[in-house]
Each structure stands twice: as C-alpha cells, then as structure tokens.
Amino acid sequence: MTNPNQDLPNILIVDDEPIARTTIEALLFGQPYTLHFAEDGQIGIDKAKEIVPDVILLDVMMPGMTGYEVCKALRELEQLKEIPILMVTALDDRSSKITGIRAGADDFITKPYDGMELIARLQGVLRLNRFRRIVEQRSQIEKMHKELLVAYDQTLQGWSNALDLRDRETEGHTERVCALTMQLAREMGIGGEDLQHIWRGCMLHDVGKLGIPDAILHKPGPLTDDEWVVMRRHPEYAYEWLSRIEYLLPALDIPYCHHEKWDGSGYPRHLKGEAIPLAARLFAIVDVWDALTSDRPYRKAMTPEEALAVILPSSGSHFDPRIVELFRNHLHR
C-alpha cells in the first residue's frame, strides 16, 4: 500500500502477478491515490469489504477465482455493488468484454498498460463515482428530512389531541376544522408546501389556550370584561411559543391571526382586509361554522341552514366576502 492518506481515493488492485502490481504502482506513483493490493480473488473480495474502495482494478486471468467470478461476487455484496470496477486484461476480443460487462465490470484496460490512459480512465471513473455518491447523499438527506417532518407532524397531532382532551366541549373540533379548511384551500388552488403549512396551522390554532387558566377557559357562564382580556391573549401566546420554532414559522398565520376580522375589529392586532393572511381568513369562517354547528352546554347545535344564515350577514365585516362566497358554494356542492 502507498500514500496512506485517508482523504485520498482508495484504489484496490487485484492481480496475481507481482510484476503487474509493481507496474501499476510505478505508473501511479505521485498520483493522489491510496493504493491497496490483493494477490488473488478471495483476498481481493475480503480487502474490498474491509476498505470499501473508490475503484477496483481487477485482473481477469487469475488462478482460483477468475476476474469475472470476483466481479460477480462483488456485485452481490450490498456495500460493494456500486463500486466502479475496471477489468485489466490482455484479452481484447469482443466476447471477453461482453462476459466482463455481464459480470458487472464498468470499463476495461488492456495490457500492456498505457500509463496516461490508465490515469485518464481512473480520473474519469472517480468523477462519476463522486457524482453518484453526491446523488446518494442528497437522496439520503432528503429521505431523512421527510422522516423528520413526519415525526414533527405526528408531534403536532399529539399536541392537538392534548388540547382537545383539555377542552371536552370542543372534542373533535380540530380534526373537523382542519379537514374543511384544507378543502377550501384546495378549491382556491393552494397546494404543495403551502397546503402543508395550513394543515399545521389548523392543528395548532388554539395552542395558545394552554396559557389560559382553567377557571376562564372552562367557565360555564359568560366571561367578564377582565376575563375576556385574558382569553384574547391566546393568539399572542401562540405566536410567542411557535415563532421560536423555525420549522413552524410558515404555519403561524392561523394560530396568530384567526381572530382578526375583515373590518379591522378583531384581535390581537386589528388587521384589516387583505392584511389578514389568506390562511387565517379561510380558517376563520370554518372555525365559526364548526362552533355554530356543534353542541355546547348552553345551546344545541344549529342546523347548517341556521348557521349559514348567521355567517352570510357577516360578509364584509367579520369575513372576507370572497371567502364567504367560496364557502357558500362549497356547502351547496
């Protein structure tokens, strides 16, 4: 072995002839590679499993296992099946090359060696191998990223379930408003990551209520003015908590702004018109609809017709008129 530098590409030379191994070592002297040698096929396979080389130079005519047999065996090993293999042979006929390709060879070098050709072939195959590894690494990173997002979203569902358990009066509310808001968003042409952010915002729309005392959140009667001041802080709590989580920043519109009103009379920031994020405008009408059509301790659920009769007059005051029209058409369909 020469050039024992772990940062350099590892090249494994498998050849039973000492003079052939010496010749390759001489030709590659001074090149930026770490060279490893094996005297027969089985030693070559064992060495390849040990070092996982960047390229294998494999002689064809060897006693015991031929180069073809070694090549086929390497291709059956998971960690080695993509390693570039250059077959070194004195045979230059078509059938020998076809046999090598079928065994898994990537390229051929014919004896006697041309030093410049050998170096050029190695450089070419190493470039391709680097590209393949970059693609594999990128694919692995993307896979890990997707798995991480799935884990995050499962955590969000856990938070949402905890909120529903805390407030039995609205059990199932989050799932219902998520489903209907997503339907409306799709009808508006929203998709991809934007739709995923809306789903996350729906799941977390009431997370700020974790900061509201139970005495206020579960009060059976009307809230006092002072209690309403406390209750109306829950969007600010949501913003304070979620804005620290970078991955949730695009999902903040709904938890922070779903109590804003089209005419500017909402809270917490008194946003008006299209200054209110679209996701929050969509969610606001769904949130009110679900509240009206669900049973409460102080009243029975309204029928869809009764609830719509309450919502329609609020077009242009509480709700975005365009969203009201979209919502009404959705219900009719």
pLDDT of amino acid 2: 47
Cβ–Cβ under 8 Å, residues 73 and 45? yes
Share of the chain above pLDDT 70, in %: 90
The encoded tokens of residue 123 equal 């450089």
Within a domain: 158: no
The encoded tokens of residue 241 equal 């908590």
Cβ–Cβ under 8 Å, residues 209 and 160? no
pLDDT of amino acid 108: 84
Within a domain: 59: yes
Per residue, the 3-state secondary structure of 141-173, as one string, reads: HHHHHHHHHHHHHHHHHHHHHHHHHHCHHHCCH
Q: What is the phi/psi pair of residue 319, to 5°?
A: -115, 155
Long-range contacts at 244-250 (CB < 8 A, ≥ 24 apart): 247/149, 247/152, 248/200, 248/204, 250/193, 250/194, 250/197
Band of residue 174 on the pLDDT scale cut at 50, 70, 90: confident
Looking at the fold, whether 83 and 228 belong to one and the same domain comes out as: no
Quick: pLDDT tens for 100-139.
Answer: 888 888 888 877 777 788 888 888 888 777 767 766 667 7
**Pairwise CA distance, residues 315 & 324, whole Å:** 6
Q: Into how many domains does the chain fold?
A: 2
Range of the domain at 49: 10-138
Q: Which residue in 48, 42, 50, 35 sits closest to 67, CA to CA?
A: 42
Looking at the fold, whether 232 and 297 belong to one and the same domain comes out as: yes
Q: Does residue 5 have a pLDDT over 60? A: no
**Pairwise CA distance, residues 116 & 212, whole Å:** 76
Within a domain: 149: no
Q: Of 122, 138, 154, which residue constitutes the final position of a domain?
A: 138
Looking at the fold, whether 184 and 254 belong to one and the same domain comes out as: yes
Per residue, the 3-state secondary structure of 9-69, as one string, reads: CEEEEECCCHHHHHHHHHHCCCCCCEEEEECCHHHHHHHHHHHCCCEEEEECCCCCCCHHH
Neighbour count for residue 297 (Cβ, 10 Å): 8
Q: Which residue has the higher pLDDT, 126 or 179?
A: 179
Looking at the fold, whether 129 and 171 belong to one and the same domain comes out as: no
Quick: pLDDT tens for 201-225.
Answer: 998 998 898 898 988 888 877 899 9
Band of residue 140 on the pLDDT scale cut at 50, 70, 90: confident
Q: Which residue has the higher pLDDT, 27 or 138?
A: 27
The CATH number for 261's domain is: 1.10.3210.10
Q: Is 1 exposed, middle or buried (0-12, 13-18, 19+ CB in 10 A)?
A: exposed
**Pairwise CA distance, residues 198 & 156, whole Å:** 13
Q: Under 8 Å CB-to-CB from 192, ≥6 apart: which residues?
A: none
The encoded tokens of residue 48 equal 């390849």
Looking at the fold, whether 110 and 229 belong to one and the same domain comes out as: no
Q: What is the phi/psi pair of residue 6, to 5°?
A: -70, -15
Quick: pLDDT tens for 219-266.
Answer: 877 899 999 999 999 999 999 999 988 888 999 999 999 999 999 999
Looking at the fold, whether 178 and 314 belong to one and the same domain comes out as: yes
2: left (phi over 0), alpha (psi -120 to 50) or beta: beta
pLDDT of amino acid 169: 54
Q: Under 8 Å CB-to-CB from 195, ≥6 apart: which residues?
A: 182, 185, 186
Q: Which residue in 99, 195, 100, 209 sits closest to 159, CA to CA?
A: 209
